[in-house]
Structure 1
Amino acid sequence: MNIDQHGDMKVQGVSLRGLPKVSLHDHLDGGVRPATILELAAEANLPTPAKDAGALRGWLDQQADSGSLVEYLKSFDLVTAVLQTEQALTRVAREFVADLAEDGVIYGEVRWAPEQHVAGGLSLDQAVRAVQRGIEEGEDAADAAGQNIRVGQILSAMRQADRSKEIAELAVAYRERGVVGFDIAGPEDGFPASDHRAAFDYLAAEFLPVTVHAGEAAGPASIRSALIDGRALRLGHGVRIAEDLQIIEREGDEVQVQFGDLARWVRDREIPLELSPSSNLHTGASAVWGDELADHPFDLLYQLGFAVTVNVDNRTMSGTSLTRELALLVDTFGYDLDDLEAFQFNAASAAFLPVEEREELVEMIAEGFER
C-alpha cells in the first residue's frame, strides 16, 4: 500500500490531494475536529470519554467501526451535545470548510440536521444562519489563502422524528441563503421515505432538490421508496442497489449480470450513488458481500455504468478524507487518473447547482486533472 500517513498517494506521479474534488455526502457533525470537540465540551462543562485529541479520535474510531448503523450513530451523541450554540455551530462550519479546502475540494455540500441543535434554546433559523456564517467565513479564509471552494448546505430531517415538513419548509426558506437541498437521515431500517411523504410532496411542488439516505441499513425496498415517495435525485449511499443485481457468470474480469427492474432504472436514469467506501464498511452497509474494501460492490457498480461518486460520509468518525477514500480505491481496484476524474465528473454533474455552474465545475475538474 502506497498511502502515506496523511491519506495521500501518488497516481501516475500526481498527488491525489492536489486534484480538484467534489464532495456530495459529508456530514457536519461527522467532521468536527477532535480537538474542537474537547474544547467545546470543556466550555459547556460536558464530560468526554477521553482527555486529549488523539485518545478521543481512537474512541470515535472504535465506536464507528461497529458493523451497525445504529451503533455507528451513537458516537454522534457527544458531538451533538457540544453543538448547541451559535458560536459552536459557526466555528465547526468554518473549520469544516477549511478541512475541505485542504482536502482539495472545490465544491462541497455539507448536510446536517437543524432539529438536533435546538436543545440549548436556539431556533431553527438561528441554527441555519450560524452554520451559513461559518461557511462564508471559511470560504473567505480559503479564498485569501488562494484556495477556490464553494460550499452549500443540505438540511436533513431525522427520519425517526416528525419534523420533516417543518425542516422542508426551512430548507425552502433558505434556498437563496446557502441551502441547496434536503435530505432525511438517521436509522433507515423501519423508517422509510414514505413516512415523510408530506414533506417530499411539498419539496417537489417547490422544486427543491432532494437526496435520501437509502440502501445503507436497508435494501432495495428502501431505495424504491426514496425514488417513488421521496422523488430523490440522488441516493445517499445506495450501495445496496447491488442486491438487485444477479451475477450469472464470472470469468476473470468479465462479469455477466442480470439486472432487476430497480437496478436497471437507477443505472439507466443515471441516478447518482453517494457511495462512501470506508463508512459502508464501518456501518455494515456492504457486509453481505464481505468485510474488506475489495468485497465492496463499488467496482462492480462502476464497471456496469452506474453513476458512482466517492464520499466520506463522516470524516472524523471514519478517520478519513476524500483524498484517502480515493487512495484506498486506487490501492484496492487499481484505478488510474481517468477513473478518478470520471468519479469527479459524476459528482459535479450531480451537484445541487444550476446547470451552468455544474458545467463550470466540470471544466475546473478537467483543467485540474490535465495540469
Structure 2
Amino acid sequence: MTTATETLLPGTDIVLEQLPKVSLHDHLDGGLRPQTIIDLAAGIGLELPASTAEELGAWFAEKSNSGSLVEYLKTFDITTAVMQTAEGLRRVAHEFVLDLAADGVIWGEIRWAPEQHQQKGLSLDEAVEAVQAGLDDGVAEARADGRTIRVGQLISAMRHADRGLEIAELAVRHRHAGVVGFDIAGAEAGFPAGRMRDAFDHLAQSFFPATVHAGEADGLDSIRGALLDGRALRLGHGVRLAEDIEISTENGTSYARLGELAEWIKDRRICLETSPSSNLQTGAIAQWGDEMVDHPLDLFYQLGFLVTVNTDNRLMSGTTLSRELALVSDAFGYDLDDVLTLQLNAASAAFLSVDDRETLTDAIIAGFEPFLDAEDAR
C-alpha cells in the first residue's frame, strides 16, 4: 500500500520518491505550498480566491489548465505578490528545497526572476541573497534529516522587460555565491532571445552558462534564436522542435527525418527540458494532441536526443518530479532503465563542473542499483 507521498513506477512496487533524481526546470514562484501562500498573504492583506490550502491548490490547478501560456502565467500574480520581502523569499526557498528533498531530488536547479520581487524595496542583490539564505536553510535541514541534496539558482530575466543585461550581470556577480546559470522566461511569442543579445554577449564573455525558454509557446524560429543569439546550452521545454522532425511510414516501418535544426540539437547534445504536465496545460503540444501519449517526449527519447523530464511549476500542475516520471512511464511504457536514462541525461546537462557531474552520475547509478538488482532477480 502506498501513502499520499508515494508514487509507484507503473507495473512495479518501486516507489519513485526513493530514487535519486535531478531537477533542471523548476520555478521558485511556481512551487509554493498553498498554506504558505495563505500565511504570507495574511501578513500583507492580500485577498486570495480560496481560504484553505486544499481549495487554493485546486484553484491554481484549475486556472492553469487553460491551454494558453499567457493565461497560465497570470496565476503567478498571486505567488509573486507574497514573495516581495526577504522573509517571504527566504521561507519560500527554504520550503522549496525541503519539498525537492522529500521527492528524492539530489541536484536541483531553481529558476526565478529577481526583477519581479522588488515591489517592497528589495534590491536585486538583496533578493538573490535572501533566496540563497533560504536555499541554504533548506539544504541544512534536509541533510540533518538524512537526505542528500544540493541546489543552485538559475537567474531569469523577463523577456518582455528591458533589463536583460542588468540581470545577466547580477547572475555573474553571484556565480560563486549559489548562482549556477542564466535563463530568460515569460511570454515567448514576440519576444525572441535576440532582444537580449547584449545580455547573452556578457554571459558568453564571462563563460557563464545559459538555458533559454524556447519551443514552448513559439516555434522553430524561437529555438534558432535561443541557440544563435542566446548561445543556449539547454532549451527550456523545446517541445516544438518536433516540428523539425518528419515521420514517414513504409511497409509498416516508421522512419524519422531530422531537419538541420533538430539534427544540430541532437548531435550537439543540447538538452531538452521537457515538462510534460505543464506542456499539456499550456497547449505547447496542441498540434500533436491533448493527452500525455501525444507528447513528443518519447519521439525525442527514441531518436536519442538528450531529453529530460521536469516539473516546471509544481503548484500550478499539482505535481512532483516523481509524478511526472510516473505519468510518462505509464504513457510510453518506460521501465526502470528508462527512468535511469532520463536521470543520467539530466545529470549530464546540469550546470556543474565536469567532476561534479561525474559525482552526480555516480550517485544516481548507486541509488538505482538496488532496485535494478531486485528487478533482475525476479
Question: Structures share a fold, TM > 0.5?
Answer: yes
Match of 1:291 in 2: 290
Match of 1:40 in 2: 40
2:23–2:346 contact (8 Å) kept in structure 1: yes
The separation in 2 between residues aligned to 1:205 and 1:165, in whole angstroms, is: 12
Match of 1:323 in 2: 322
The separation in 1 between residues aligned to 2:127 and 2:39, in whole angstroms, is: 20
Question: So what's the TM-score if we normalise by structure 2?
Answer: 0.96
Match of 1:343 in 2: 342
The separation in 2 between residues aligned to 1:321 and 1:3, in whole angstroms, is: 16
With over 3 angstroms needed to count, the CA separation of the structure-2 counterparts of 1:7 and 1:186, relative to structure 1, is farther
Please tell me the residue identity of whatever aligns with 1:218. Answer: D
Match of 1:314 in 2: 313
Asked if 1:368 corresponds to 2:357, the answer is: no
Asked if 1:132 corresponds to 2:119, the answer is: no
The separation in 2 between residues aligned to 1:170 and 1:305, in whole angstroms, is: 35
The separation in 2 between residues aligned to 1:3 and 1:348, in whole angstroms, is: 28
Asked if 1:259 corresponds to 2:258, the answer is: yes
Shift in Å, 1:4:
7.3
Match of 1:144 in 2: 144
Question: So what's the TM-score if we normalise by structure 1?
Answer: 0.97
Shift in Å, 1:62:
1.0
Q: Displaced runs of 4+ in structure 1, greater than 6 A?
A: none
Match of 2:95 in 1: 95
SS of the residue 2:181 aligns to: strand
Match of 1:233 in 2: 233
The separation in 1 between residues aligned to 2:294 and 2:236, in whole angstroms, is: 20
Match of 2:247 in 1: 247
Please tell me the residue identity of whatever aligns with 2:60. Answer: L
1:7–1:324 contact (8 Å) kept in structure 2: no
The separation in 1 between residues aligned to 2:160 and 2:6, in whole angstroms, is: 35
Asked if 1:301 corresponds to 2:300, the answer is: yes
Within-5 A mapping of 1:1-371: 5-6=4-5, 8-10=7-9, 12-249=12-249, 254-371=253-370
The separation in 2 between residues aligned to 1:191 and 1:10, in whole angstroms, is: 39
1:3–1:327 contact (8 Å) kept in structure 2: no
SS of the residue 1:23 aligns to: strand
2:115–2:124 contact (8 Å) kept in structure 1: yes
Shift in Å, 1:182:
0.2
What's the RMSD between the two structures over aligned residues? 1.3
Shift in Å, 1:10:
3.7
SS of the residue 2:317 aligns to: coil
The separation in 1 between residues aligned to 2:4 and 2:249, in whole angstroms, is: 39
Shift in Å, 1:14:
1.9
SS of the residue 2:204 aligns to: helix
Shift in Å, 1:3:
9.2
Shift in Å, 1:184:
0.1
With over 3 angstroms needed to count, the CA separation of the structure-2 counterparts of 1:251 and 1:63, relative to structure 1, is farther
The separation in 2 between residues aligned to 1:143 and 1:251, in whole angstroms, is: 56
The separation in 2 between residues aligned to 1:233 and 1:29, in whole angstroms, is: 23
| Percent of residue pairs identical | 62
With over 3 angstroms needed to count, the CA separation of the structure-2 counterparts of 1:54 and 1:275, relative to structure 1, is same
Please tell me the residue identity of whatever aligns with 2:277. Answer: S
Please tell me the residue identity of whatever aligns with 2:148. Answer: N
With over 3 angstroms needed to count, the CA separation of the structure-2 counterparts of 1:274 and 1:250, relative to structure 1, is farther
Unaligned runs of 5+ residues in structure 1 are none
The separation in 1 between residues aligned to 2:326 and 2:218, in whole angstroms, is: 28
Unaligned runs of 5+ residues in structure 2 are 371-378
Cα deviations across residues 234-285 of structure 1 (Å, max 9, x unaligned)? Answer: 0000001000011111776x52011111011111111100000000000000
Shift in Å, 1:6:
4.0
Cα deviations across residues 129-183 of structure 1 (Å, max 9, x unaligned)? Answer: 0000000000000010000000000000000000110000000000000000000
The separation in 2 between residues aligned to 1:208 and 1:165, in whole angstroms, is: 13
Shift in Å, 1:350:
0.3
2:109–2:154 contact (8 Å) kept in structure 1: yes
With over 3 angstroms needed to count, the CA separation of the structure-2 counterparts of 1:201 and 1:45, relative to structure 1, is same
Please tell me the residue identity of whatever aligns with 2:17. Answer: R
The separation in 1 between residues aligned to 2:94 and 2:57, in whole angstroms, is: 20
Cα deviations across residues 306-328 of structure 1 (Å, max 9, x unaligned)? Answer: 10101000000110000000000
Please tell me the residue identity of whatever aligns with 1:360. Answer: T
SS of the residue 1:154 aligns to: strand
Shift in Å, 1:190:
0.4
